[in-house]
Amino acid sequence: MKTFHSLSVVIGCYLSMASCQMIDAQDLYKSMDFTEPEGFTSGIEGPAVDKDGSIYAVNFREQGTIGKITPDGKASLYVKLPEGSTGNGIRFDQSGVMYVADYTGHNVLQIEPQGKKITVYAHEPKMNQPNDLAICRDGTLFASDPNWSAGTGQLWRINRDGSTTLLEADMGTTNGVEVSPDESRLYVNESVQRKVWVYDLDGQKNISNKRLLTEFGDFGMDGMRCDVEGNLYITRHGKGTVAIISPEGKLIEEVKMKGTKPSNIAFGGPEGRTCYITLQDRGCVEVFEAKYPGRGYKMLMPE
């Protein structure tokens, strides 16, 4: 209980008038518990933060659900997904609509903020299992699509009308996917092959000029996010760390988690520098403070 008491004090400080002050460098990149362990299943993923600072992650208490977490770490059921659907990656658009990768239903689901109405935004039978999502300012989505048993994967674009476009097939096990702050780059990682690829992204959201950003010699990768400087935060599944990689592919920092199976990460908090990490082996969310705000957090905030 001491950990949670300490965390509540920290969060209380962040929410006070002093929250606008810079956090000391010595307090950066130190992970601590944010939610109670085992509150979520081992399928905990997501996560995403709305404009009000609430955090969302899939598989709260049981598979096929989404949990909502208050800024002080209290989790409760948000919605139960339709029969046959199981969520994975979550993203919000600028109007507050939630998009959920439904890997068992081969869908991308849409959940309205008012009334929590759930509809199928995109359905693609040719998908293996939509896994993680990235979103642009105009609402265009990208979805990774791994085939775990075959060790292969695909990359899809979800257009604004809900139609799907296959961008690349015959990849490795595609998993984490993210857009750079200026939307000139698209990043995709391959978990089993331990490679991170970067593409040029044009104004019509087409990809070109694929090249290797970085690769790792051990452990896997899962979800990832960019900060406003273009640094990429990659969850290292099995290693229990979040690797921070520069736009040039250099390792800047590696943050140690309490758990060993981080599955994804999102930015939030009063200044957008709080990183929320889902841990599958602990069934909870851990948190640390980063140097820069997240790209997705800034995208949601009004100009």
pLDDT digits (tens, 9 = 90+) for 84-137: 999 999 999 999 999 999 999 999 999 999 999 999 999 999 999 999 999 999
145: its two tokens: 């699509």
Q: Global pTM?
A: 0.91
Task: Identify which has the larger pLDDT, 97 or 22.
Answer: 97
Q: How far apart are CA 9 and CA 90, in angstroms?
A: 28
Of the chain, the percentage scoring pLDDT greater than 90 comes to 88
Q: Which band of pLDDT confidence, cut at 50, 70 and 90, is reported for residue 300?
A: confident
Other C-beta atoms closer than 10 Å to the C-beta of 22 total 9
pLDDT (tens digit per residue) in 175-209: 999 999 999 999 999 999 999 999 999 999 999 99
Residues 47-72, mean pLDDT to the nearest whole number: 97
For the chain, the average pLDDT equals: 92
Q: What is the pLDDT of residue 7?
A: 47
Of the chain, the percentage scoring pLDDT greater than 70 comes to 91
Residue 2 CA, distance from chain mean position:
28
Q: What is the pLDDT of residue 14?
A: 41
Task: Identify which has the larger pLDDT, 289 or 298.
Answer: 289
Q: How far apart are CA 272 and CA 274, in angstroms?
A: 6
Identify whether the C-beta of residue 274 lies closer than 8 Å to the C-beta of residue 15: no
pLDDT surpasses 50 at 263 = yes
Q: What is the pLDDT of residue 269?
A: 95
Identify whether the C-beta of residue 183 lies closer than 8 Å to the C-beta of residue 206: no
Q: What is the pLDDT of residue 24?
A: 72
21-35, 36-50, 76-90, 225-239: segment of lowest average pLDDT? 21-35
Conformation bin of residue 71: beta by default, left when phi > 0, alpha when psi is -120 to 50:
alpha
pLDDT surpasses 50 at 17 = no
Q: Which band of pLDDT confidence, cut at 50, 70 and 90, is reported for residue 296?
A: confident
Q: How far apart are CA 124 and CA 130, in angstroms?
A: 9
Residues 228-252, mean pLDDT to the nearest whole number: 98
pLDDT surpasses 90 at 11 = no
Please give the domain boundaries of the chain with CATH numbers for all domains: 35-300 (2.120.10.30)
